[in-house]
Amino acid sequence: MSERDDILQAVYRVIQERKIASADSSYTASLFQKGIDKILKKLGEEATEVVIAGKGGKREEIVYETADLFFHALVLLGYYDIAPDEVYAELRRRFGTSGIAEKAARKP
């Protein structure tokens, strides 16, 4: 497992632990308590912030906002008990395949 996988896995494990934590003591627990609509809203906000940072072109802002986006994507995965390994497997499956060919192979 690479260092990158280690940190994403470690964050995911903490996210899973926070599902049963008090919302008073954990931001992540509060997201779970508020439900999927709140999680999706935060994910959308973070995606928008990445777009704005990308447009601004400041490296440190892009990195910061992308970390927020990754975190909130992991919260979404955690909500549905989808391990990051499932996403990695899908990326591995697609690796080396043209994006055009991959999209054409999808079932309608």
What's the confidence (pLDDT) of residue 45?
A: 98
**Model confidence over 91-105: pLDDT tens digits?**
999 998 877 776 777
Amino acid at 102: E
Q: Which domains does the chain have, with CATH numbers?
A: 3-85 (1.10.287.1080)
**Model confidence over 30-77: pLDDT tens digits?**
999 999 999 999 999 999 999 999 999 999 999 999 999 999 999 999
Distances in Å between the Cα of 54 and the Cα atoms of 5, 50, 69, 81, 91 are 24, 6, 13, 30, 23
What per-residue string of b and e applies to 14-24 under the rule 16 or more CB within 10 Å gives b?
ebeebbeeeee
